[in-house]
C-alpha cells in the first residue's frame, strides 16, 4: 500500500479550493501535535484547524482537538505524520499560505500559527461571491470608513444574493449611515460584483454611543 505524501489532500471541499491552497505544517509542529494527540481520549480523532471571523479584522486562526461531533461533513481532510487534520471548509481559502511551526525553548516550547490571508483571502473571479464581498469590504470600503472610526462586516449572503451587513464603530448609529450604505458601500459592491442583488443593513442604529455624526 502506498503512503500518502506529506501535506497531500485526502479529501476536498465541494468549492474546489482544496487543490490550490498551500498550508505548511513544519516537521516539528507535526511531531508536537502527534505527541499531544497520543495523550487524548479515544473520542479525539485528530486536530481541527479553522479561522474564527474569517475575512474580518477580528480573524483568529485556531487549532483545537478534533472530536467526531465537531467535524462537519464538508471538512477538508489531510493526513500528516501520525495524525489527521480536519480543516473547516469555510476557513479553507483564508488559510492560503498558512504556516504552523513549533520551536523548543527553555520554557518547553511554543506552537505558532501564521495565516497572512485570514483577514483578506486571495480571491479571483472564480472565488465564492461571499469571499469577493469580504475582499472588497476589507480593501476598498473599510479603509475609507476607518477615517471616521467606522467599519462594516458581511454577516451573511442570503438566498436572494443580498449581502447582509453590519456596521460598527463610528458608523453604528451615525446619522449619515444611510447615505454611506447606498452611495458608498452598495455602489462599490454592485459596480464590482454585478451578480450581487443588493445590500441590507442589520445594524442596531439606536445605539449611538460611538456615532461619528
Running DSSP on this structure, what letter comes out for residue 4?
A: P
Residues with Cβ within 8 Å of 210's Cβ and at least 6 positions away in sequence, in order, are 149, 169, 170, 172, 173
Task: Using the 3D structure, point to which of 80, 114, 148 is the last residue of a domain.
Answer: 114
Residues 94 and 35 in one domain: yes
- CB 139: neighbour CB atoms within 10 A? 11
Confidence band for 206, pLDDT divided at 50, 70 and 90 = confident
d(C-alpha 47, C-alpha 70), whole Å: 10
Does 54 map to a domain?
yes
pLDDT tens sequence across 17-50: 455 578 999 999 999 999 999 999 889 999 999 9
d(C-alpha 169, C-alpha 53), whole Å: 17
Does 173 map to a domain?
yes
Does 119 map to a domain?
no
pTM over 0.75: no
Task: Using the 3D structure, point to which of 57, 84, 114 is the last residue of a domain.
Answer: 114
Residues 143 and 63 in one domain: no
Residues 105 and 137 in one domain: no
Contact 84, 44 (CB under 8 A): no
Residues 35 and 105 in one domain: yes
| Three-state secondary structure call for residue 206 | coil
Arithmetic mean of pLDDT over the chain: 85
Residues 104 and 158 in one domain: no
Residues 133 and 110 in one domain: no
Does 13 map to a domain?
no
Task: Using the 3D structure, point to which of 88, 114, 140 is the last residue of a domain.
Answer: 114
Any idea which of 14-18, 27-31, 114-118, 192-196 has the lowest mean pLDDT?
Answer: 14-18
Give, in order, the Cα–Cα distances in Å from 91 to each of 46, 104, 115, 123, 189. Answer: 17, 28, 11, 13, 22
For the chain, the distance separating the N- and C-terminal CA atoms, rounded to the nearest angstrom, is 67
Does 73 map to a domain?
yes
Owning domain of residue 88: 23-114
Does 147 map to a domain?
yes
State the pairing for strand pair 110-114/198-201: unpaired
Contact 49, 63 (CB under 8 A): yes
Residues with Cβ within 8 Å of 153's Cβ and at least 6 positions away in sequence, in order, are 56, 137, 165, 166, 168
**Residues in the chain, total:** 213
Confidence band for 122, pLDDT divided at 50, 70 and 90 = confident
Residue 62, all three cell numbers: 485556531
CATH number at residue 86: 2.60.300.12
Residues 145 and 106 in one domain: no
- The predicted pLDDT at position 85 comes to 96
Does 75 map to a domain?
yes
- The predicted pLDDT at position 8 comes to 41
Number of domains in the chain: 2
Does 135 map to a domain?
yes
Amino acid at each position: 500500500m502506498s503512503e500518502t505524501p506529506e501535506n497531500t489532500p485526502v479529501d476536498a471541499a465541494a468549492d474546489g479550493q482544496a487543490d490550490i491552497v498551500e498550508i505548511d505544517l513544519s516537521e516539528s509542529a507535526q511531531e508536537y501535535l502527534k505527541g499531544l494527540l497520543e495523550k487524548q481520549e479515544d473520542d479525539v480523532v485528530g486536530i481541527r484547524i479553522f479561522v474564527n471571523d474569517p475575512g474580518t479584522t477580528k480573524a483568529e486562526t485556531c487549532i483545537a482537538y478534533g472530536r467526531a461531533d465537531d467535524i462537519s461533513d464538508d471538512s477538508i481532510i489531510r493526513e500528516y505524520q501520525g495524525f489527521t487534520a480536519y480543516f473547516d471548509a469555510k476557513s479553507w481559502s483564508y488559510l492560503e499560505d498558512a504556516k504552523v511551526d513549533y520551536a523548543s525553548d527553555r520554557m518547553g516550547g511554543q506552537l505558532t500559527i501564521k495565516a497572512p490571508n485570514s483577514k483578506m483571502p486571495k480571491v479571483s473571479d472564480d472565488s465564492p461571491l461571499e469571499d469577493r464581498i469580504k475582499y472588497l469590504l476589507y480593501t476598498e470600503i473599510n479603509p475609507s470608513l476607518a477615517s471616521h472610526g467606522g467599519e462594516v462586516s458581511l454577516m451573511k449572503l442570503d438566498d436572494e444574493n443580498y449581502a447582509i451587513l453590519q456596521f460598527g464603530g463610528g458608523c453604528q448609529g451615525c446619522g449619515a449611515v444611510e447615505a454611506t450604505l447606498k452611495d458608498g458601500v452598495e455602489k462599490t459592491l454592485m459596480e464590482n460584483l454585478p451578480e450581487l442583488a443588493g445590500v441590507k443593513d442589520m445594524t442596531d442604529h439606536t445605539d449611538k454611543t460611538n456615532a461619528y455624526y
